[in-house]
Structure 1
Amino acid sequence: MTATMQTPTIMLINLGSPSSLDISDIRKYLKQMLSDDEIIDLPKPLQQFIVRAFVLPFRPKKSRRAYDKIWTSEGSPLLINTQKIARELKNQTGWNVEVAMRYQEPSIRETIQKISKDSCKEITVIPLYPHNAMATVGSTKKEVERIAMEVNEQLQINFLKPFFDHSDYIDCLVKSISPYITDKLDMLLFSYHGLPERQIRKSDPGGDYCMTESDCCMGNSPITKKCYRANTQSTARLTADKLGLEKDKWAVSYQSRVSTIGPKWLSPYTSDELKRYPDFGIKNVVVVCPSFVCDCLETLFEIDIEGRDIFTESGGASFTFVPCLNDNTDFINFLESEVSSLLT
């Protein structure tokens, strides 16, 4: 095959997870992730003080108990589901599709090294994060570019942009949610991964738009395209509209808050909403987590186990968890279409 006819090479990147349930592996994962300056965006000495004094001595054991409830015989659900996406995309297209994790294994470095040994000159990177955020899209892009310069500076890299408002992606969400929507629905809750408010403000170069008004995310400013909070609101609104839901039948909340990283996080918090809903007559809820493409600890444990318990113990009658898109055929078709447009 000539250079001009070279089979496209795709690299799917997800956040990552521990390589096993051993406390040492969980600690290694947490240390690497929380030492990323895009995750804990504080001066390095303060960041490391927080990580070493308040996180690593306690969180690995807590995380171990959570992972133990969702770990499979094959390993980490996040890694397994990402590999399934890669396998389906490769089978459907014939492309070379590799998987890398931002933290831990398989690493971005070893994946780029493997690709470079195959004399690949160009890769398309798919960060599996629908919404813009410095802690996900930003961190991944910086790390890929940094490692590529060290391993193979001639390698051309194309990145798939966040697709939070793409009509085909919204259609994927609508099709995945629709089977769970009945006339008994009281609330469809869009639960997104939370972020410290300071990181939202950093997406606004001028500092005079984001988080200044309660409805700033509803504006049509170019800033909202880069703002995580605005992205999440947009995904929810577009999805709810296509589902034909009234405004009082859907809401947005944020989960996975880590108070040691910062006191002020995006709100309302998912756990608080689920706890208070029954008191307001909201007894039948459906929860979907669009910031996660693959089911993982945050969806399988934090929502489908912890969230369910919070809601039912507070008096809720029906709690329905909508699985992530994972290797859903519609989502694979969407990825194929988006990558194809970058290859032309």
Structure 2
Amino acid sequence: MSKKGVLLVNLGTPDSPETRDVRKYLDEFLMDPRVIDINPVSRALLVKGIIAPFRSPKSAKLYKAIWHDKTGSPLLYYSQLQHQLLQERLGGEYMVELAMRYQTPSIEAALNRMKAALVDSIQVIALFPQYASASTGSVYDKVMELVRKWQTIPSISFVNSFHDNELMIETFANNGKKYKPETYDHILFSFHGLPQRQLIKCDHTGKYCLKVDNCCNTLNDTNKFCYSAQSYDTARLIAEKLNLPKEKYSICFQSRLGKDPWVQPYTSEVVAKLAAEGKKRLLVFCPAFVADCLETVYEVTVEYGDEFKALGGEHVQLVESLNDSPTWIDALEQMVRGVKSPVGSLKA
């Protein structure tokens, strides 16, 4: 029986929390020209000479703090669950494979399994709700690099982004409701950061990004492919589901690396500002991630939690990611089957 291939791809994780494996992961990740988009020689000197050697021991300690004795990396664990649950949902007509952009399981191995199975088509879903060249774009670049070597290439399709998928929005909102948002002083929607230069490169007009006031606040035809604009739209949709007034929540960006300006406002600065205003309890969503990982479990809960308490705050509560929620699996099934959930988020 012929099958349709579905390739789920997340970012990746070290094979273990040991320094050698963390360094191997960082080296592959940061050498990607879409991640650190500078001169190749400068990138190699920066990554191999400075970042990977010095950052690996520090990052290894953080990974050890979130690594589970039985299930290992939370990102890989939940990605595997998503893979398994989606395969069960779709049935024998589909062949679902899981890969990581960096490290294992590899995209190449997953594609080769589908090639051997003679799938009729391949649908690629990069598990990043908001499109960015450094994440979604990198996944598609790698897939095309590998498949173009095949003598026979099946029909291939890509899900560009799903930042406004209604079932995804509903899952995040329902996860948040469990913590009773009305009992918190403020809500944060903290997205992974990107260098501003990467946003500017995505503005094909050359006249809009960071040149128009509040250029990301509302999604429109000019910024519809912008990571920051899609992030603002995701936050708005979740806030609407929760009936949050605008003064009750803030949108910010975490995980800054290096000295170049990144997307602002920075989460750390927003946390400090809220503490200075006397806020005591923060509820934090991380809607750039479909599975809990180092950036959610540790960076938000521990690092920002400690910073907030040191400045007079009392508690930072992370809202868990989509993980293995049945509603999230519903969303993935809809994407695969081509069923579009109501969107209505694109503003004129």
Name the TM-score, length of structure 1 as normaliser: 0.94
Partner of 1:46: 42
Which residue is equivalent to 2:159?
160
Structure 1 residues 110-259: aligned runs within 5 Å: 110-151=109-150, 153-259=152-258
Query: For residue 310 of structure 1, what is the aligned residue in structure 2?
Result: 307
Question: What is the rounded CA distance, in whole Å, between the counterparts of 2:266 and 2:151 in structure 1?
Answer: 43
Give the CA RMSD over aligned residues: 1.6
Q: In the aligned structure 2, how far is the partner of 1:156 from the partner of 1:175?
A: 36
CA 1:342/1:238 → structure 2, altered by over 3 Å: closer, same or farther?
A: closer
Paired with 1:133 and 1:153, the residues of 2 have a C-alpha distance of 29
Pair 1:60-2:56 in alignment: yes
1, 6, 28: which one aligns with 1:10: 6
The aligned residue for residue 290 of structure 2 is 293
What is the CA distance between 1:185 and its match in structure 2? 1.8
* 1:325 equivalent in alignment to 2:316: no
- Gaps of at least 5 residues in structure 2 are 341-348
Contact 1:112–1:151 at 8 Å: present in 2 too?
A: no
Partner of 2:346: none
Aligned length: 337
**2:282–2:316 CA contact under 8 A, matched in 1:** yes
> Given that residues 10 and 96 in structure 1 are in contact (C-alpha distance below 8 angstroms), is that contact kept between their aligned partners in structure 2?
yes
The separation in 2 between residues aligned to 1:97 and 1:161, in whole angstroms, is 18
> How far off its partner does 1:64 sit?
0.4
- Cα contact 1:113–1:151 (8 A) shared by 2: no
| Partner-residue secondary structure (3-state), 1:267 | coil
Match runs of 1:333-344 below 5 Å: 333-341=330-338
Q: Which residue in 1 is equivalent to 2:344? A: none
* Distance across 2 between alignment mates of 1:176 and 1:331: 11
Report the CA distance between 1:20 and its aligned residue.
1.2
Asked if the contact 1:203/1:223 (under 8 Å) is kept, the reply is: no
Distance between the aligned counterparts of 1:92 and 1:12, measured in 2?
14
Checking the alignment, whether the CA contact within 8 Å between 1:16 and 1:105 is kept in structure 2 is yes
Moved more, 321-330 or 72-81: 72-81
Question: Partners of 1:223 and 1:141 in 2: how far apart?
Answer: 22
Decide whether the 8 Å contact of 1:193 with 1:254 is kept in 2: yes
TM-score by structure 2 length?
Answer: 0.93
* Distance across 1 between alignment mates of 2:51 and 2:152: 36
SS at 2:182's partner residue? coil
1:86 aligns to what? Answer: 83
Equivalent in 33, 37, 44 of residue 37 of structure 1: 33
Higher helix proportion, which one? 1
Give SS of 1:217's match: coil
Q: Kindly indicate whether the alpha-carbon contact (under 8 Å) linking 1:287 and 1:320 is maintained by their aligned counterparts in 2.
A: yes
Offset of residue 153 of structure 1: 4.3
Determine the C-alpha separation between the residues in 2 that align with 1:38 and 1:183. 40
Distance 1:337 1:167, change over 3 A: same
Identity %: 37
Return the letter of the residue paired with 1:58: F
Shift of 1:9: 2.1
Q: Deviations over 1:162-204 (max 9, x none)?
A: 1112233222221121222343221110000000000000110
Residue 178 of structure 2 aligns to a residue in which SS? helix
